[in-house]
Amino acid sequence: MELPFAESWKIKMVEPIRKSTRAEREQWIKEAYYNVFQLKADQVYIDLITDSGTGSMTDRQWSEMMLGDESYAGATSFFKMKDMVTKITGFEYVLPTHQGRAAENVVFSFLVKEGDRVPGNSHFDTTKGHIESRKAFAIDCTIDEAKDTQLEIPFKGNVDVAKLEKELIENGDKVPFIIVTVTNNTAGGQPVSMQNLKEVRELSKKYNKRVIFDSARFAENAYFIKTREEGYANKTIKEICLEMFSYADGMTMSAKKDAIVNMGGFFATHVEEWYEQAKIKGIIYEGYVTYGGMNGRDMNALAVGLDENTEFENLETRIKQVEYLARLLDEYGIPYQRPAGGHAIFVDAPKVLTHVPKEEFPAQTLTVELYLEAGIRGCEIGYLLADRDPVTRQNRFNGLDLLRLAIPRRVYTDNHMAVVAAALKNVYDRRETITRGVEIAWEAPIMRHFTVKLNRLK
Ligand SMILES: *Cc1c(COP(=O)(O)O)cnc(C)c1O
């Protein structure tokens, strides 16, 4: 008999979690203004709000933390981190930052100015925030297929090169660089193919532009290239990563994702002149250039995390758990962005809550319902997160409206996934009775989803 698949690790330390009653949750979510970001973590049973900084580190990472060098300048920890980043990406210049958006802030501070246009594939919310807060524009050139959640194609995160070329022809003088997000978080954790990265590279050369990868989940992207793209089955993840980054000039990284640390990030590049400018901004915003807001111990853990999470077995364990949750949803008929993404399942909320009008935010409504059902905290990646159009100030209802169930790395078991699927099924079974959603009572001018206050409509 063939042995079943199992995790490539065993568990050394555990953290108790607690269930709650429906009455408690009704009270708590009301006090949180129906915004799950305002809940206290101990009011949550299974927390799928994000896979960012929520992973479990390995014993090797923890042991490296004891060896952290907390020197202000030139710490051994910086060189451990820098050498590992260079080994995996090929980029020789590495600037630590305290997390991914900090790297965006540092880099965009000298690259993006008012009126600029930054084309890419579904910019992540902080990326969009850092562009729009500089009165520049994030131009979405994702393939149209990404909007059809039921369409099953292997590389749904791809850039539409025709859209990109059109932008470069029409507005090339306003484009400071092209940004490619791997994997494409906003489109559902969907990967970008090596072929597509190559095509973007060719266009960038033709129009004399540079390319930055928003790289939070580059290792998961490499896993999909290995398992789905012709010609890569026999390459190692590390070989694939090196090839991916050979098509970019620089990268911003949220190490809280694929480096599996609780905090950290960096900017890396082969462009010396970018590094020189980034250092100046980094010192102002983050800290001296050999720590950039990170502790020495965290840089050590990051180095090991990057090394370990660019090994196939670790990625396979993770992505198979996401696929397991997807299989259960298939069994119950619950529609989600297909195929399952690398780090999360994105439930297609308007297809579930068909009676809730878009003006009442179906995905946010579903997020609240799932919390009330079983204390499970997902996160809206939809019309609230899309913010208002910076010019017209209208809500943007043209994209997807998804409930994201992000799976922390090495944290929950498949039994927890079964609970999540069953809770979602219970909500799904009573979907016809859910006819009203939520309305905004207060919102911030940008990135409103973190702090928005909502009323639940009855
Ligand atoms: C998380 C993330 C960021 C921002 O990183 P933080 O560490 O949360 O600041 C940027 N881009 C993508 C694609 C992300 O997933």
Report the residue among 37, 52, 267 best suited for mutation to probe ligand 1: largest number of ligand atoms under 8 A from its CB. Answer: 52
Residue 23: how many other CB atoms lie within 10 Å: 8
User: Residue 91: what pLDDT?
Assistant: 98
The pLDDT of residue 125: 86
**Cβ contact 175:213 at 8 Å:** no
Which residue owns the Cα nearest ligand 1 atom 11?
124
Give the CA diameter of the chain: 63
Task: List, by residue number, the catalytic residues.
Answer: 72, 124-125, 214, 216, 257, 449
Cross-strand partners of 137: 117
pLDDT of 263: 97
Q: How far is CA 430 from CA 81, 353, 355, 370, 434, in A?
A: 50, 10, 12, 12, 7
User: Which residue, judged by its Cα, is nearest atom 8 of ligand 1?
Assistant: 100
Amino acid identity, residue 326?
A
For 169, the 3-state DSSP assignment is helix
pTM score: 0.96
240 touches 287 (CB < 8 A): no
Q: Ligand 1 centroid vs 252 CA: distance in angstroms? A: 9
Closest atom, ligand 1, to C-alpha of 185: 13
Residue 184 CA: nearest ligand 1 atom is 13
Per-residue pLDDT of the chain (458 residues; tens, 9 = 90+): 999 999 999 999 999 999 999 999 999 999 999 999 999 999 999 999 999 999 999 999 999 999 999 999 999 999 999 999 999 999 999 999 999 999 999 999 999 999 999 999 999 989 999 999 999 999 999 999 999 999 999 999 999 999 999 999 999 999 999 999 999 988 889 999 999 999 999 999 999 999 999 999 999 999 999 999 999 999 999 999 999 999 999 999 999 999 999 999 999 999 999 999 999 999 999 999 999 999 999 999 999 999 999 999 999 999 999 999 999 999 999 999 999 999 999 999 999 999 999 999 999 999 999 999 999 999 999 999 988 988 899 999 988 899 999 999 999 999 999 999 999 999 999 999 999 999 999 999 888 999 999 999 98
CA of 103 to the centre of ligand 1 (A): 10
Give nearest CA residue, ligand 1 atom 15: 216
Given this model, what pLDDT does residue 123 score?
93
In this structure, the residue with its CA closest to atom 6 of ligand 1 is 100
- According to DSSP, the residues that pair with 269 across neighbouring strands are 93, 250
Tell me which residue has its CA closest to atom 10 in ligand 1: 100
Q: Which residues, judged by CB distance below 6 Å to any ligand atom, belong to the binding site of ligand 1?
A: 52, 99-101, 124, 126-127, 181, 185, 214, 216, 254, 256-257, 265
| Residue 256: per-residue pLDDT | 98
How far apart are the CA of 345 and the centre of ligand 1, in A? 17
d(CA 433, ligand 1 centre) in Å: 36
Q: Collect all residues with Cβ–Cβ distance below 8 Å to 164 and sequence separation of at least 6.
A: 119, 141, 178, 200, 203
254: part of which helix (H) or strand (E)?
A: strand 250-254
pLDDT at 167: 98
CB 411 within 8 A of CB 356: no
Of all protein residues, the one whose alpha carbon is nearest to atom 14 of ligand 1 is 216
Q: What is the pLDDT of residue 212?
A: 98
Atom of ligand 1 nearest to the CA of 53: 7
**Token match 């010019």: residue?**
391
Question: Residue 130's pLDDT is what?
Answer: 95
* Contact call for residues 339 and 330 (beta carbons, < 8 A): no
Distance 355 CA to ligand 1 centre (A): 33
